[in-house]
Amino acid sequence: MQMTKFKYQNEIDALVAFGCQLPELYAPNGIPACRFAFSNSGRQNHVPQYVASPKRMLLDIGKNKASTSLLALSCFDTAVHAETFYQNLKKAFHNISSAIGDSLSEGSLTDADGKKTATSANGHFDFYEYEGCDLNKTFLITKDLNNNDEEDKRI
C-alpha cells in the first residue's frame, strides 16, 4: 500500500474512478533527469499538463481518452534524448518554446520525490510527484534550446 500521497492524488483518484489506470511505477533511485522549462522566472516550471491546462483534461475525458499521464511530469533520461525530442517537436510546432519551455532543466529524482514509469526507447518517462516535491528547488536550467550556438551553461 502506498504510504505517501501523490501531489495530485485527488485528480488521479477521479481518473481511476473514470476507468483510467496508473501505469506500473518504479522508485527513481536518484537517477538524473531532464525536463523542458521556461527561462523567464515569471513562468511556472515543472507543472503537469493537466495543471497547466485543465481544459485539456475535460476535452480528453469527453473523447474517452483521458490518461493519468497528464498528471505526471514528462522527463528524459539524458540531455541528448531531451534535445533530440525538442528539436523534432520544434520542426512540427514553431511556437513550441512558448508551450513547453525554451530551456533544458536538469536534476536528480530521488525516492522521496515520487515514482517513475519505465523509460522508453527515446529516453522519455513520466514522473508522478509525491506531495511536497518541488523540482524548482532541485532542477537547474542548463541550456537554451532555441539557440544552438549558445554554449552549455553547466558549470
Cell readout for 68 is 493519468
128 located within any domain? yes
User: How far is residue 50's CA from residue 66's CA, in Å, rounded to a whole number?
Assistant: 10
Asked whether the beta carbons of 73 and 129 are under 8 A apart, the reply is yes
152 located within any domain? no
Range of the domain at 45: 9-18+28-144
- DSSP category for residue 109: E
The count of domains in the chain is 1
Asked whether the beta carbons of 27 and 115 are under 8 A apart, the reply is yes
Per-residue pLDDT of the chain (155 residues; tens, 9 = 90+): 456 899 999 989 988 887 888 999 999 999 999 999 999 866 789 989 877 776 655 545 545 556 788 899 999 999 999 999 999 999 998 888 888 899 999 999 999 999 999 999 999 999 999 999 999 999 999 999 987 544 444 43
83 located within any domain? yes
Q: Are strands 103-109 and 114-116 parallel, antiparallel or unpaired?
A: unpaired
45 located within any domain? yes
Query: If we measure between CA atoms, which residue out of 120, 43, 39 comes closest to residue 74?
Result: 120
133 located within any domain? yes
2 located within any domain? no
93 located within any domain? yes
119 located within any domain? yes
User: Where residue 116 sits, what CATH number does that domain have?
Assistant: 3.20.170
Asked whether the beta carbons of 73 and 36 are under 8 A apart, the reply is no
Where is 60: in which H helix or E strand? helix 54-62
